[in-house]
Amino acid sequence: MKKITISISALFLALGVLSGCGEKKEEAPKAEAPAAEQKPVEQAAQTAPVAEPAPAPAAEPAASNNPMTAMTDAAKAAGDAVSQAADATTQAVGDAAKAAGDAATQAADATTQAVGDAAKAAGDAATQATDATAKAATDAVAAAGAVDGEKVYKGLCFSCHDMGVAGSPKLGDKAAWGPRIATGMDALYTTSLNGKGAMPAKGGNPALSDAEVKAAVDWMVSKAK
């Protein structure tokens, strides 16, 4: 009996649970979204400027189908081309002539410069040669003057001219030297260098230079004046 009572109680409990599960739950009321205000949009649409339609491009005039016009245009184009070609040819010829003239002028200038330089060089060479000759002559005179005639005399000439050996004029004898001096210094130099009578060339010493012999003659003549 006790088991039956428990079973009935369990049955009622199960029925109660099933009854609760079958009840519908109440749905919460949905919040309605506020309607969007349309007034500002309408005002913006009313105040927006209306774009004006762009003007259609003007249609280009159709090309002329007149044959005479086409021929005239072709003739004009040909004439322009010929004129341009003639101008270009004239310009080219002018440029070539100018270039040739410039080249000729430059060549002439270069030739003139070369001739002038050559003439100047020749003149400079001639001047230098003249200067060298004059210097050589001056040096020769200086060398002759630098020779000690007395020293040459005492080294060789004294052996005859101190005593008047073989008719030689004695040193300082104006009477003996006078006629000889009267013949000129060139004659005295020639006799002393080449010899005459008993006097040998260069006093018998061929090692003496012409300048030394002349210096000795000059010194002896100075003693006879």
Domain boundaries, position 112:
87-146
Question: How many domains are contained in the chain?
Answer: 2
Least confident of 99-108, 125-134, 178-187: 125-134
Q: Does the structure show a pLDDT above 80 at 88?
A: yes
Choose the final residue of a domain: 146, 164, 194: 146
Which DSSP letter does residue 148 get? -
What's the pLDDT score for residue 3? 44
Task: Establish if 126 belongs to a structural domain.
Answer: yes
DSSP codes of every residue in 44-73: HHHHSPPPPPPPPPPPPPPPP--HHHHHHH
Higher pLDDT among residues 143 and 205, named by residue: 205
Choose the final residue of a domain: 106, 122, 146: 146
Both 215 and 190 in a single domain?
Answer: yes
Residue-wise pLDDT tens digits, 6-39: 555 555 554 554 444 444 444 444 545 444 444 5
Which DSSP letter does residue 163 get? T
Both 181 and 212 in a single domain?
Answer: yes
The upper half-sphere exposure of residue 192, i.e. CA atoms within 13 Å in the direction of its Cβ, equals 29
What's the pLDDT score for residue 212? 95
- pTM exceeds 0.75 for this model: no
Choose the final residue of a domain: 146, 162, 177: 146
Both 122 and 162 in a single domain?
Answer: no
Residues β-bridged to residue 12: none
Task: Estimate to the nearest angstrom the gap between the alpha carbon of 84 and the chain centroid.
Answer: 41
